[in-house]
Chain A
Amino acid sequence: MTIDDTATQPDRAAQVEAFLKRTPFAATLGMQCEIRGDEMTAILPFQKKLIGNFTIQALHGGAISSFLELTAVAHVFLVSGLEHPPKPINVTVDYLRQGRAQDLYARATVNKLGRRMSSVRVEAWQDERSKPVAALHAHFLVTNGES
């Protein structure tokens, strides 16, 4: 079974939270998430180590894109019936505004969840949702067995 239309039961949310908890890189970033049914908001609390440019106190683009990619992984995992987190095929990040030295939030939209591939968009913002800091578009392999 690859896709489960009845996914996002409460235990599914727990599975996603457990995945983030035992993923070392998610802990390195300090990423958190809030799941309500099939909706998830990812939170990246500000830490000094996430800075890329001291002079202008901006978050590092790599920290932002890492956070967005993990949000995409977690969201596809949440809404699919996958046994393991999906594998990324490619990722495109647009840097729209400078990420300031404060918390960053992100939400993902699944454009398509097919039998083998999934297309996902993620937007990250700080003070205003309508002024995104960065946008990510990614494709994932969503098969349970071998690629």
Chain B
Amino acid sequence: MTLDPGNLDDRLQMMRDNMAMMTKAVPWAKELGFQVTRIEKGRVWGLQPYDEKLVGNPDTGVIHGGVITTLLDNLSGMSCATAMKDFRFVATLDLRIDYMRPADKGRDIIGEAECYHITRSVCFCRAWAYHESRDKVIATAAGAFAINKPRPTDRPESIA
């Protein structure tokens, strides 16, 4: 049986099967070293391991906000693909990050993104970064993603 990315359930299965590839194929995501860990309809989870080279404040050893931005931006974009009925590429229009508390030095960061509304041309997402649970967030994000029109070159295998 072949999976059809135009079908949402099939697409979710394809994304789950290719979870490791999804960040390895993106150089900047690979550089930061984060992984996608869980995919549900409209929701995606990821993990950003702690790494000295990502420290934004040498005095405290805390990971730079830009790393969290990248994680939440990427996961939000992926959450759109798990929510749209048809498969389309999306591009970030804007993203707002609120920093609630600094991340703990030496600890991995969990990211969670949700695509909660879709119109004909825009997906709306929110996302969270935390160590343990959403009860104690490091940062929250809200973003709008433009849905690209289908291109003739959008072949099914390009989803991976």
Instruction: Give residues of chain A (23-79) contacting chain B, Cβ–Cβ below 8 Å.
Output: 23-25, 27-29, 48-55, 59-63, 65-67, 69-70
Measured between beta carbons, the chain A residues less than 8 angstroms from B8 are none
Complex Cα–Cα for A25 and B58 (A): 9
A interface secondary structure, majority: mixed
Known contacts: A91-B65, A93-B95. The answer to whether A65 contacts B27 by CB under 8 A is no
Nearest A residue to B143, CB-CB = A93
From A27, A66, A69, A91, B96 is in contact (CB under 8 Å) with: A91
Question: 1/0 per residue B32-72: CB within 8 Å of A?
Answer: 10000000000000000000111111110001111101110
Measured between beta carbons, the chain A residues less than 8 angstroms from B116 are none
Top 6 closest A-B pairs, CB basis?
A62-B70, A66-B66, A60-B28, A25-B64, A92-B96, A51-B27
Please, how many residues of chain A have a CB less than 8 angstroms from a CB on the other chain? 37
Whole-angstrom distance from the CB of B76 to the nearest CB of chain A?
10
Once A and B bind, how many residue pairs between them come within 8 Å at the CB atom? 118
List the interface of chain B (C-beta within 8 A of A). 25-32, 52-59, 63-67, 69-71, 73-74, 91-99, 158
Residue A95, interface by CB 8 Å: yes
List the interface of chain A (C-beta within 8 A of B). 19, 22-25, 27-29, 48-55, 59-63, 65-67, 69-70, 84-85, 87-95
Contact (Cβ within 8 A) B65 A69: yes
Measured between beta carbons, the chain A residues less than 8 angstroms from B31 are 28, 49-50
